[in-house]
Chain A
Amino acid sequence: MTVKRTTRAAPRRRSVILIAGCVPAGLIVALALVSFFWLPYPLDDTSGGRLSPPGASHLLGTDKLGRDLLSQVMIGARIALESGAGAVAIGGVLGVATGLAAGFANRWVDDTFSALLDVLIAFPTLLLAMLVVAAQSASLGSAIVAIGLAMTAVVARLTRILVKRVLAQDYITAARTSGTSWPRVITGHVLPNIWPTLVVNLALQFGLAVLAEASLSFLGLGAPPPNASWGRMLQEAQATVSTAPYGAVAPGVLLVALVVGVNLIADGLRDTLDPTRRRSS
């Protein structure tokens, strides 16, 4: 992004960005991991009294049913990471595979294919996800599948462009004329050249997927109760925001922290992985 960058400061800036991103993301991963073994209160424990403010027994307070907010936030961390990872896995595998296929296909197939992708991309992710959720029922699984499928078009289009660019290079012609098979060209030349850009883009898509899941949950189309998605926690907190605003603080802050963290990691990775940037900086 930055054009003017001093030679000496660049390596330090790079690692700072990467670390700055790893801290919030790492904290949330830790929160999610702990939630597998230990929660302050079970999710259905309503003994805390309704809407009690943050205090010693309930660090973040309780919701309108008396459930502990910290426990819900920890489960929410797990759901956020699951939806990000799940959607990126689906979108990444399907997108890279179709993008590779389109990049290698003949002109006619490729043109049809990119027109199809253009239309699919015109479909906003969230609307596509709502369509899938509409046909099935609201659950975390269908939300993840929906977001992953919507992501596929974006990843496929990027992969296709990257593959085309690599295939036009002289070293591909050289490899082919010296008798390298197409599978070997893909694993030996195409993938190593495109994966840095892909990884950075998938990291950005992870953040978008987390936000999309939160939006779906906020609209009541994500994981049904008692699964505490941050989006659904915010939706529940909205009703009581005038009397008990703290319910809307933790899920929102963590959501922003996770997405900022992942975006910073993507930025840091872009600078670290891209050899052309490494040399010039």
Chain B
Amino acid sequence: MTVYILRRLAFLAASLLLASVVLFLLLRLLPGDPANALASVGASPEQLAAARQEIGSDRPLPEQFVTWLHSLATFDLGNSFVSTLPVGPEIATRIEVTGPLTLLAFALALLIALPVGFLAAHRANTWYGLILNGVSQLGIAVPVFWVGMILVTVFALHLGVLPAGGFPQDGWADPVEALRSLALPVVTVAVVMSASLIRYVRSASLDVLGSDYLRTARALGSSFGEAVRRHGLRNGAVPVVAVLGIELASTLLGAVVVETVFALPGLGSMLSQAVAQHDYPTIQGVLFVTTLAVLVIGFLADLAQRLIDPRLRSTLSGGKP
């Protein structure tokens, strides 16, 4: 296990380095001069040259890359072109919104998906099994922002029980108020995410329920509930845990989109604003932090998978097919 963790850590570091190369190259090789974004519209060639010098885009690429890596290593993500404020601290305050939103939505999605997915498998041939399956089929096709709009219309505009958007100015100083503004966004993301989770849980449950070992356990006298608890849970958990990392990453992405609907000051609205303004340091910073999060989530999901499934633990390799 230790060897595996070390190998997996090395892979994590390598992927992070690779991700920083991809991020660095994509923004520089694609057409469009970042200096244009810094200098105002209609700037003279001299002003453009000055802007290039200021952000260092007149230097050779390898030199720029080393500078960038060095600043990443010292947690300096540069200053925004637009506000000229440092990007790092801004990202930190934004995470206070996006982080809880993502985690709460993910937890709620799991709370919905585990029982519903199991029920959809256990009752696969009844009418409500079919309905549950149909609803989850619909759920994976619904754009998350449309669900948000519907929920706002119903719960904020017509019933008036929850705020339609925004976040308290003083952040989490008043937790109740902060949670109230997160309630609708969390439900929105959770509803959409649970749809795809239900499908994984359902197919894992179908495998377990149709397995020989479960039938044997029943033949040896276990009750259905006992057989599922003692033999089914751990077996069924393996494929579900395997996708949890990817699902958590897409929850983060759903949060990014939904923030625009609910006017939440999180990473997502920061990113879409920065993209519209060609604010390269901000884009780079936000994408670097989100990629880091996604890669670490994948790392933890792989470890969790090995803790559950002893068969995987014995393989020393990365476990790639």
What residues make up the interface of A, taking CB atoms closer than 8 Å to B? 1-4, 114-116, 118-120, 122-124, 126-127, 130-138, 161, 164, 207, 211, 214-215, 218-221, 231, 234-235, 237-238, 241-242, 245, 248, 252, 255-256, 259-260, 263-264
How big is the B interface, by class?
Answer: 35 or more
Residue of A nearest to B246 (CB): A121
Q: Return the chain B residue nearest A218 by Cβ.
A: B145
Known: A114-B320, A122-B294, A220-B276. A234 touches B19 (CB 8 A): no
Q: How far is the CB of B141 from chain A (nearest CB, A)?
A: 4
- Residue among A124, A136, A235 making CB contact with B253, cutoff 8 Å: A124
The answer to whether B257 touches A126 (Cβ under 8 A) is yes
Known contacts A124-B253, A127-B287: A242-B141 contact under CB 8 Å? no
How far, in Å, is B253 (CB) from chain A's closest CB?
Answer: 5
| Contact status A220-B27, CB under 8 Å | no
Q: Quick one: which of B12-64 are within 8 Å of A by CB?
A: 14-15, 18-19, 22-23, 26-27, 30-32
Answer whether residue B227 sits at the interface, using C-beta atoms and an 8 A cutoff.
no
Q: What distance in Å separates the Cβ of B277 from its nearest Cβ neighbour in chain A?
A: 9
Task: Write out the residue numbers on chain B whose beta carbons fall within 8 Å of the beta carbon of A120.
Answer: 22
Cβ contact within 8 Å between A219 and B30: no
Among B99-107, B173-181, B202-210, B305-313, which stretch is in contact with chain A?
B202-210
Q: Which residues of B contact A122 (CB under 8 A)?
A: 15, 19, 249, 291, 294-295, 298
Q: Which of B11, B27, B32, B137 meets A115, CB within 8 Å?
A: B11
B138 touches A (CB below 8 Å): yes
Q: List the count of A-B residue pairs having beta carbons below 8 Å apart.
A: 143
* A–B Cβ pairs within 8 angstroms, 20 of them: A1-B202, A4-B125, A119-B15, A123-B291, A123-B294, A124-B249, A124-B290, A127-B256, A127-B271, A131-B26, A136-B30, A137-B32, A218-B145, A220-B272, A220-B276, A238-B149, A242-B157, A252-B149, A256-B142, A264-B137
Q: Find out whether the CB atom of A161 lies under 8 angstroms from the CB atom of B321.
A: yes
Interface status of B278 (Cβ within 8 A of chain A): yes
Q: Is B162 an interface residue (CB 8 A)?
A: no
Least Cβ–Cβ distance between B266 and chain A, in angstroms: 13
Do the beta carbons of A136 and B32 come within 8 Å of each other?
Answer: yes
CA A220 – CA B294 in complex, angstroms? 25
Which of A137, A164, A245 is the one whose CB lies under 8 Å from B321? A164
- Tell me the B residues contacting A by CB distance below 8 Å: 11, 14-15, 18-19, 22-23, 26-27, 30-32, 124-125, 137-138, 140-146, 149-150, 152-153, 157, 202-203, 206-207, 209-210, 249-250, 252-253, 256-257, 260-261, 271-272, 274-276, 278, 280, 283, 287, 290-291, 294-295, 298, 320-321
- A residues in contact with B261, CB < 8 Å: 238
